[in-house]
A and B are shown apart, each in its own frame.
Chain A
Amino acid sequence: MTILQRGLPAAPGIGIGTICIYRPHDLMLETPPAEASSRGVSPRREWQRFLHAQERVDAELARLGESLNHVAADIFSVHRLILADKTLTESIRSAIQLSGFSAVSATRQVVLDMAQMFRELDDEYFAGRAADILDIGRRLLAHLGAPIGPSQLDELPPFTILLTDDLTPTDIAMLPAHNIAGIGLAYGTPTAHSSILARSLGFPLVCGLGPEILSLDRNLPAILDGYQGLLIVKPTAQQTDDYGADQARDLDRQAVALAHAHEPARTSDGTLIPVYINANTAEEVTAMRGSGADGIGLLRTEYLFQGRAEPPSVAEQQAIYGHFARQTDGRPLTVRALDAGGDKPVEYLMGPGEANPFLGLRGIRLLLANPGLLTDQFRALLLAAREQPAEMVIRFMLPMISTVGELEEARTLLEEVRGAVEQANDGAAGARVEIGVLVEVPAAALLAERLAAVTDFLSVGTNDLAQYVLASDRTNSQVAGMADPLHPAVLQLIARTAYAAKIFDVPISLCGEIGGNVKAVPLLLGLGITELSVPLPAAPLVKQAVREADLFHCRQLAESALRCSCAEDVRALLTVS
Chain B
Amino acid sequence: MTHSEVRPNGPAAQFTEVTVQHPLGLHLRKSKDVVQVANRFRAEITAQNLTRTSPVVDAKSILQLMQIQARQGHVIRICANGPDADDALVALRRLFDHRHYDLPSAS
Q: Is the CB of B103 within 8 A of A81?
A: no
User: Could you tell me the distance between the alpha carbons of A307 and B28 in the complex, rounded to whole angstroms?
Assistant: 13
Asked if A78 lies at the interface with its beta carbon under 8 angstroms from chain B, I say: yes
Asked if A197 lies at the interface with its beta carbon under 8 angstroms from chain B, I say: yes
User: Could you tell me the distance between the alpha carbons of A304 and B72 in the complex, rounded to whole angstroms?
Assistant: 11
Whole-angstrom distance between the Cβ of A312 and the nearest chain B Cβ: 8
Q: Is the CB of B67 within 8 A of A126?
A: yes
Chain B residues lying within 8 Å of A133, measured Cβ to Cβ, are 63
Interface range for B: 20 to 34
Q: Is the CB of A78 within 8 A of B69?
A: no
Chain B residues lying within 8 Å of A87, measured Cβ to Cβ, are 58, 61, 63-64
User: Could you tell me the distance between the alpha carbons of A307 and B35 in the complex, rounded to whole angstroms?
Assistant: 21
Q: Is the CB of B24 within 8 A of A126?
A: no
Chain A residues lying within 8 Å of B106, measured Cβ to Cβ, are 193, 280-281, 300, 303
A117, A280, A300, A303: the one contacting B67 at CB < 8 Å is A117
User: Could you tell me the distance between the alpha carbons of A78 and B27 in the complex, rounded to whole angstroms?
Assistant: 11
Whole-angstrom distance between the Cβ of A510 and the nearest chain B Cβ: 22
Whole-angstrom distance between the Cβ of A522 and the nearest chain B Cβ: 31
User: Could you tell me the distance between the alpha carbons of A562 and B3 in the complex, rounded to whole angstroms?
Assistant: 73
Chain A residues lying within 8 Å of B60, measured Cβ to Cβ, are 86
Q: Is the CB of B28 within 8 A of A132?
A: yes
Asked if B56 lies at the interface with its beta carbon under 8 angstroms from chain A, I say: no
Chain A residues lying within 8 Å of B31, measured Cβ to Cβ, are 78
Asked if A320 lies at the interface with its beta carbon under 8 angstroms from chain B, I say: yes
Asked if A32 lies at the interface with its beta carbon under 8 angstroms from chain B, I say: no
Asked if A169 lies at the interface with its beta carbon under 8 angstroms from chain B, I say: yes
* Known A86-B60, A88-B63, A129-B28: A81·B73 in contact at CB below 8 Å: no
Q: Is the CB of B67 within 8 A of A121?
A: yes
* Known A121-B69, A123-B71: A78·B107 in contact at CB below 8 Å: no
Contact with B along A116-153 (1 / 0, CB 8 A): 01100111011001001100000000000000000000
User: Could you tell me the distance between the alpha carbons of A261 and B104 in the complex, rounded to whole angstroms?
Assistant: 28
Q: Is the CB of A282 within 8 A of B64?
A: no
Chain B residues lying within 8 Å of A304, measured Cβ to Cβ, are 23, 104
Q: Is the CB of A197 within 8 A of B71?
A: no
Whole-angstrom distance between the Cβ of B75 and the nearest chain A Cβ: 10
Write 19 A-B pairs (CB below 8 A) sorted by A numbering.
A82-B63, A86-B60, A87-B58, A87-B63, A88-B63, A197-B107, A281-B106, A282-B105, A303-B106, A304-B23, A307-B23, A307-B24, A307-B25, A308-B23, A308-B71, A309-B71, A309-B74, A310-B73, A323-B103
B interface vs A, CB < 8 Å? 23-25, 27-29, 31-32, 35-36, 51, 58, 60-64, 66-67, 69, 71-74, 103-107
Beyond known contacts A81-B32, A81-B35: 18 more, CB 8 A cutoff: A77-B32, A78-B32, A81-B36, A87-B61, A87-B63, A117-B67, A118-B66, A126-B67, A169-B107, A281-B106, A282-B105, A307-B23, A307-B24, A307-B25, A307-B71, A308-B73, A310-B73, A320-B103
